[in-house]
A and B are shown apart, each in its own frame.
Chain A
């Protein structure tokens, strides 16, 4: 039975691991931290899995636990941040697809996202993942109206960086 549960869990996580990796990209700045956070997310998901009854989709449930881990449960390890990791490990922008200005704007926006606070990062992440306001409010535990208000503020903040 436990073996069965384990197999089910790993198969699910293997299929949906992108969700966790994307969260790690937003919340960490180097590959080691990325791996640490991914590891903690995996542990938290596994610990909570026996309570996952399949009423929700695995992915929906995973968004919640993984974000909770990144925002609240994970304790950052102290390490010296190697600045060169930032560009090489994260957000590879394919320059051949964009003209120079668009590429520059994307770089600015990704850099700006890194500067946001933990809650704003969660909002941007859920926005980029095309979650609707109902899902966003349920994941974060705030009202839909407030999710909307705050999201607009974050969007304006990001836009103002490229159009000062």
Chain B
């Protein structure tokens, strides 16, 4: 007899030592809370999708719009808002569509693929947020600097004009600060999802390696 046949035979005998749960014990389990990865992904994704929307609303008070008017960016800001809400709703819709597809009764490969696709939707959304934040921040910085005269009383213009070097330093400082902030944000996401999806990514790769 082959070693694996012996193993197979012994495997059957192992059944005798398996736990036996009663009807009532199983019944109690039905009402316990699931701690599945899909649940966590759902909660975190919803928080992310809502976070930026809520942040936008909180930051845009009357003061904010007055300031936008001063630096001639009111129309621009309205456009940015409309666009970003449209994009957010589009992503929420896509997320929901993909999320609905996740089913534990699919085969293992399909299930993993659907979870990863759902996750990717939110990843692209975060990518969009980071890139659009970078672009709009630059526009705001540019307009704020060029209209700074509108917010300050200038008596001696020469005192307020910058030399070329000063401009360079200021611009690089802004870009540098922005890059650090957005980079940190990106890193945070990578870490969060690295922890959450590490095992899933590995298993999907192991399974898909078979197809090569």
Contacts and interface: CB of A to CB of B under 8 A. Distances in A.
A14 B207 CA distance: 31
Contacts, number: 156
Contact of A43 (B19, B21, B34, B105): B34
Given A64-B105, A69-B104, A14 B3 contact: no
A118 B171 CA distance: 51
Interface residues of A, number: 67
Contacts of A158: 3-4, 7
B133 interface: no
A10 to B, nearest CB: 5
Given A10-B26, A92-B14, A162-B3, A73 B203 contact: no
Interface in A1-42: 6, 9-11, 13-14, 17-18, 21-22, 25, 34, 38-40, 42
Given A39-B32, A73-B104, A141-B110, A128 B203 contact: no
Contacts of B15: 18, 22
The DSSP consensus for interface residues of chain B is helix
Contacts of A13: 26
Contacts of B19: 21, 34
A87 to B, nearest CB: 12
B73 interface: no
B14 to A, nearest CB: 6
Interface stretch (B36-44, B76-84, B148-156): B36-44
B211 A64 contact: no
B17 to A, nearest CB: 5
Interface in A121-164: 122, 127-128, 130, 138-143, 146-147, 149-150, 155, 158-159, 162-163
A86 interface: no
Query: 3 closest Cβ contacts across the A-B interface?
Result: A141-B109, A141-B107, A146-B210
